[in-house]
Amino acid sequence: MTVVTTATLVGSDIRDQPLQFVKGVGPRMAEVFAKLELHTVGDFFNYIPRSYQDRRQISPIVRLESGEQVLCFGAVRSASLEKAKKTHIFKAIIQDASGSLVAIWFNQPYLKKVITPGKQIIINGKLQFNAYSGERQLTVIDWELYDPVTDQGLSLGIVVPIYGLTQGLYQNKVRKIARGIVSDLLPRIEDPLPEGLRDAWNLAPLAESLRQLHFPESREAYKAARRRVAFDEFFYLQLALLLKRREQKVLPKAIRMQAEGPMLQQFIDVLPFKLTGAQARVISEIKADMASSEVMNRLVQGDVGSGKTEVAVAAMAVAVQSGCQTVLMAPTEILAEQHHYKVRRYLNSLEIPCYFLAGKLTVKQKQAVRQAIETGAPCVVVGTHALIQEPVRFERLGLVVVDEQHRFGVQQRNELQKKGYYPDMLMLTATPIPRSLSLTLYGDLDKSIMDEYPPGRQPIETYRLTPGRKREAYEFARLHLRAGERIYVVFPLVETSPKLELQAATQSAQHIQTQIFPEFKVGLLHGRMKPDEKTAVMESFRRGDIQVLVATTVIEVGVDVPEATVIIIEHAERFGLSQLHQLRGRVGRGTQKGYCLLIGEPKGDESRRRLQALVQCRDGFKIAEADLQIRGPGDFFGVRQSGLPDFKVADLIRDEKILIEAKKRAQECLQTPRTLAPTLEHELYRRMKEFLGGTRLN
């Protein structure tokens, strides 16, 4: 392998230089850094410390306060290793000119060889006064040895960066490398943002900002630096989103739809109820999109039970009356089947063919559906991922509807769209998307909000019960069963093994059947059942042959049985907030009042707060905000599929102001096609290449 010298790098971007050739790194260390996805100098610039320790002034030992977390600097006077029962206790007396204290480490006997008398040490720990021994004891959180000869002012007298580490890395070593990179290499990067814009937008220079993030010199400088780097993270994403959106807007739509026509009207006429105001409004928004010459990309956001399915069917009727084929994709077979059942019922009287396509069909059945689709005759196809996976060729695909959109990734959405020639896209979601996410991840979509429930819907009452009061929950449910209503009992998935999980679910169902509700029929629904078995159970529950449905989270999305009024959720503390809200939405879907009983023993403060939030709050948006805050965007939408870039500094919730500003600036930049500075354009492609795909700037 040839060593890249600085000379060969002239003209190229310093950020692309492999970390391995940086002073103090080398091949072995480079491998360790690679474990943290740090491969180049540029990666290291963005290796932002996870926290900082202010060591500008360290108090003399005598002045450190007991009961607090403190920073202590001194020399090791003596050290000893003791063993009490099975615990190794390593104690060292640390001393400075003012006094001394005892530092304590547990179960690290090897420290005896490392922390030896005479060495200087910096310790971060919790200081306590031990009344029994009369000593001040420091329980160590983290520590490092200090060598006045080699340290180069990197450990004391400054705000010290604390980096996220992995095995084989140590803070002081990383700090040294960081100092080298920050002082030698960082000044060589160009700021893609021209000075004029920087001044106008009140942003600090890039190199200076990154320097401050690694080695902050003051609170103000750090804040300005953070603002700059967070701004960039949002700004380029916004540019990319705007470009994508602009491209979509000019896409030639193959088929322009007829918004007004007989089928939509007939569908509205066969509905057994009047559309809500929100439904009517959203349908007209969709109609306008479909009739226009631009491709529709619309997200309908509406809480569980707001009646999104009817809106989707209306859109499909528009597609069919325009001579198109249309698909509705759902995340699970149960849901797809339920939609198929409902859609077919609505559309049969309009004489629109309606097919079902899912993995569980036989080869022959699939083939029949495929053949029907390939004729190009107008039709509706309801299905699961199979719609993407099967080699189906749509001759005239005009509209794609994706239900419970958050369950699918951006990728799958695109796959499906590719099955047609730029068909209209309609996405439905019951997971309300907090503002910050809708400004980022969903920035490329138009939005419709369903902020109204069908009439007669009563709020679901939610209660939290300790496991000791489980009996009461079941007795309450019994009253409702006797009145002819239906109930759900939900258990969390046990993560041990599929086999154990199955066993646990089966046992629970048996217990409930024999010990709790012998007079009613109990059914079981779980993820490991065959699709046909699931369908059969759901069907019996819908008909009322089964009155109690014991289930794992397979019923979480969209399942619609209006007679179900009570949902009992066992071990509620193990569910996520949005998940609980979704589950709760399974009841109270008819005219009868719904009840949600959360049985659980919250383990910590957080899970208690989570359950409390659910009891007090009915607003799906507020719940989603809280959930996003607790779990972060990755988990919120299911890790990889969110499609969000990995922000190093920016925080979607804390930095909403910066986000809004970045969006505004990005819009300004793209107002006329050629206003984007070449350096910005270059940086945009550098950062957002994957995200942009084939999108072009001009």
User: What does the binding site for ligand ADP look like in residue numbers (CB under 6 A)?
Assistant: 273, 275-276, 279, 302, 304-310, 430, 454, 558, 560, 562, 589
307 binds Mg ion (CB under 5 A): no
Minimum CB separation of residue 427 from Mg ion in Å reads: 12
Segment contacting Mg ion by CB under 5 A, of 554-562, 571-579, 624-632, 677-685: 554-562
- The interface partner of residue 120, options being Mg ion, ligand ADP, none and the CB cut-off 5 to 8 Å by kind, is none
The interface partner of residue 620, options being Mg ion, ligand ADP, none and the CB cut-off 5 to 8 Å by kind, is: none
Identity (one letter) of the amino acid at 692? L
Chosen from Mg ion, ligand ADP, none, partner binding at 522 (C-beta under 5 to 8 Å by type): none
DSSP 569: E
State which residue, 526 or 589, has the beta carbon closest to ligand ADP: 589
Q: Which is nearer to ligand ADP, 430 or 613 (CB)?
A: 430
Q: Which is nearer to Mg ion, 423 or 558 (CB)?
A: 558
Going through 107-199 in order, the beta strands assigned E by DSSP cover: 120-130, 135-146, 159-162
Contact 349, 421 (CB under 8 A): no
Count Cβ atoms below 10 Å from residue 405 Cβ, excluding itself.
27
Report the C-alpha gap between 424 and 399 in whole angstroms: 5
Partner in contact with 304, chosen from Mg ion, ligand ADP, none, beta carbon below 5 to 8 Å by kind: ligand ADP
Query: DSSP assignment of 416-427, as one string?
Result: HHHTSSS-EEEE
**Which is closer to ligand ADP, CB of 75 or CB of 271?**
271
CB of 271 to ligand ADP, least distance (A): 7
Figure out which of the listed residues 49, 434, 558, 645 binds Mg ion, where binding follows CB under 5 A. 558
Residue (161 or 558) nearer to Mg ion, CB: 558
Question: Which is nearest to 571 in space by CA: 539, 537, 598, 604?
Answer: 598
Judged on CB neighbours under 10 Å (0-12, 13-18, 19+), 665 is buried
Closer to ligand ADP at the Cβ: 423 or 454?
Answer: 454
Task: CB nearer to ligand ADP: give 304 or 662.
Answer: 304
Residue 79 or 445: which CB sits closer to ligand ADP? 445
Q: Are 294 and 255 in contact (CB under 8 A)?
A: no
Q: Is residue 443 at the binding interface for Mg ion, with CB under 5 A as the rule?
A: no
Least Å distance between CB 284 and ligand ADP?
Answer: 15
Q: How far is the CB of 307 from Mg ion (least distance, A)?
A: 8
Question: Between 79 and 304, whose beta carbon lies closer to Mg ion?
Answer: 304
CB atoms within 10 A of CB 336: 26
Cβ 451 to ligand ADP, closest distance in Å? 12
Please identify, using beta-carbon distances, which residue of 310 and 655 lies nearer to ligand ADP. 310
Contact 580, 572 (CB under 8 A): yes
CB of 288: closest distance to ligand ADP in angstroms?
21
Token pair recorded at residue 566: 């009570």
**Binding range to Mg ion, per CB under 5 A, among 359-367, 553-561, 660-668, 687-695:** 553-561
The CB-side HSE value for 249 (13 A sphere, CA atoms) comes to 9
Q: Residues, the chain, total? A: 698
Nearer to Mg ion, 49 or 558 (CB): 558
Residue 423 site contact among ligand ADP, Mg ion, none (CB < 5 to 8 Å, cut-off depends on kind)? none
- The residue range among 60-68, 183-191, 552-560, 572-580 that interacts with Mg ion, by the rule CB under 5 A, is 552-560
Q: How far is the CB of 304 from Mg ion (least distance, A)?
A: 7
Surface-to-core class of residue 696, CB atoms within 10 Å of its CB (0-12 exposed, 13-18 middle, 19+ buried)? exposed
Nearest residue to the partner ligand ADP, using Cβ: 307
Name the token pair of 539. 């069907």
Strand, helix or coil at 400?
strand
With CA atoms as reference, report the closest residue to 248 among 293, 301, 312: 293
Contact of residue 14 among ligand ADP, Mg ion, none (CB under 5-8 Å per partner type): none
Structural contact between residues 74 and 65, judged by C-beta atoms closer than 8 angstroms: no
Q: How far is the CB of 285 from ligand ADP (least distance, A)?
A: 16
State the minimum distance, in angstroms, from the CB of residue 257 to Mg ion.
23
Q: Which does 310 bind (CB under 5 to 8 A by kind): ligand ADP, Mg ion, none?
A: ligand ADP
Residues binding Mg ion: number (CB under 5 A): 1
What CA–CA distance (Å, rounded) separates 673 from 694? 17
Which tokens in the block code for residue 239?
A: 């540019």
- How deeply is 630 buried, as exposed, middle or buried, from its count of CB atoms within 10 A (0-12, 13-18, 19+)? middle
As measured in angstroms, the least distance from the Cβ of 141 to ligand ADP is 48
Amino acid at 108: Q
Q: Using an 8 Å Cβ cutoff, are 228 and 203 in contact?
A: yes
By CB under 5 A, is residue 432 in contact with Mg ion?
no
Structure tokens at 462: 């939610």
- By beta-carbon proximity to ligand ADP, the closer residue of 146 and 267 is 267
Question: Which residue bears the tokens 């009356």?
Answer: 321
Alpha helices in 385-530, H assignment, sequence order = 386-389, 410-418, 435-440, 470-482, 498-511
Taking the complex as a whole, the smallest distance from the CB of residue 447 to ligand ADP amounts, in Å, to 15
Residue 697 C-beta: closest distance to ligand ADP, Å: 38
Main-chain dihedrals φ then ψ at residue 524, nearest 5 degrees: -125, 135
Under the rule (CB under 5 A), what is the footprint of Mg ion?
A: 558
